[in-house]
Chain A
Amino acid sequence: MARFGLLTALALVLGLLDRAIPLTALLGGAAPGIKLGLANTVLLYAVYLMDWQSAVFLMFTKVLLSGFLFGSMTAILYSLSGGILSLGVMLAIRKRPAAGALCAAVMAAVAETMLLIQNPHPKGQRLWCVILIGIACIACIAAFIAIGKGKIRGVPGTSIAGAIAHNIGQVLAASAVLRTPQLLTTYLPVLIGVGAAVGTLTGVVAERVFRAMHINPDKPEEKRK
Chain B
Amino acid sequence: MKKTVRILTYLIAAMMILAAWSGAATADDLTKESRVGYYLDTVITLTAYTNHPELLDAALERCGELENKLSRTIEGSDVWRINHAEGKPVTVSTETIEILQTAIRVSEMSGGAFDVTIAPASTLWDFTSGETKIPATEDLASAAEKIDYRKIRIDGNDVTLEDGMMIDLGGIAKGYIADTIKKELEEKGIQSAILSFGGNIVAIGVKPDGSPWKVGVQDIDGATGETMLVSLNYGGSTVTSGIYERGFTLDGVTYHHILSSETGWPVQNELASVTIFSESSMLGDALSTATFALGTEKGARLIESLDGVEALFIARDRAVSGTSGVEKYLKEGTEFSLIPLSAEEPEAAEPAAAEAAAEETDGTLTLLIQVRETDTAPGYILLQGADSIGFLPLPEEGERTQEIIQTLEDGSVWRNVIRMTPEGFSMIESDCEGKDCIEEGEVTLENSQDRLLWNMVICAPHRLTLSLYTPEEAVEFSKTILGF
Chain A residues with a Cβ under 8 A of chain B: 19, 24-25, 28-33, 51, 53-54, 56-57, 60-61, 64, 68, 70-75, 78, 119, 123-126, 129, 174, 177-180, 182-183, 186-187, 190
Contacts and interface: CB of A to CB of B under 8 A. Distances in A.
Nearest to B439: A29
Given A32-B453, A32-B458, A125-B452, A178 B11 contact: no
B433 interface: yes
A60 B439 contact: no
B8 interface: yes
Main secondary structure of the interface of A (DSSP, over half): helix
Given A32-B436, A33-B460, A174-B460, A180 B452 contact: no
Given A178-B465, A182-B454, A24 B436 contact: yes
A24 B433 contact: no
Given A53-B4, A75-B433, A123-B450, A32 B14 contact: no
Q: Lowest 9 CB-CB distances: which A-B pairs, in order?
A: A29-B439, A32-B436, A30-B452, A124-B450, A178-B465, A186-B454, A53-B7, A180-B465, A57-B7
15 contacts: A25-B439, A30-B441, A30-B451, A30-B453, A54-B7, A56-B11, A61-B14, A74-B461, A126-B450, A126-B452, A179-B465, A182-B456, A183-B456, A187-B452, A190-B452
Interface of B: 3-4, 7-8, 10-11, 14, 18, 21-22, 384, 389, 433-434, 436-441, 447, 449-454, 456, 458, 460-465, 467
Contact of B458 (A25, A126, A178): A178
B433 A53 contact: no
B10 A57 contact: yes
A56 B438 CA distance: 34
A136 to B, nearest CB: 15
B384 A179 contact: yes
Contact of A71 (B22, B433, B464): B433
A36 to B, nearest CB: 14
A180 B451 contact: no
A30 B3 contact: no
Contacts of A186: 452-454, 456
Contacts of A57: 7, 10-11
Contacts of B451: 30, 125-126
B433 A180 contact: no
Nearest to A32: B436
A178 B387 CA distance: 10
A178 B460 contact: yes
A166 B462 CA distance: 21
A73 B452 contact: no
Nearest to A122: B450
Nearest to A31: B452
A15 B13 CA distance: 23
B460 A32 contact: yes
A30 B440 contact: yes
B466 to A, nearest CB: 10
A80 to B, nearest CB: 10
Contacts of A73: 22
Nearest to A75: B461
B375 to A, nearest CB: 23
Nearest to B464: A178
A71 B456 CA distance: 23
A57 B265 CA distance: 74
A64 B18 contact: yes
A19 B447 CA distance: 29
A70 B436 contact: no
A56 B8 CA distance: 10
Contacts of B11: 56-57, 60
B7 A129 contact: no
Given A53-B4, A61-B14, A174-B460, A32 B437 contact: yes
Given A29-B440, A54-B3, A54-B7, 4 more contacts: A75-B433, A125-B450, A178-B460, A190-B452
A65 to B, nearest CB: 9
A60 B18 CA distance: 11
Given A75-B461, A177-B463, A180-B456, A32 B440 contact: yes
A180 to B, nearest CB: 5
A24 B453 CA distance: 13
Contacts of B458: 32, 174, 178, 180, 183
A57 B21 CA distance: 19
Contacts of A33: 434, 436, 460
Nearest to B433: A71
Contacts of B452: 30-31, 125-126, 129, 186-187, 190
Nearest to B449: A119
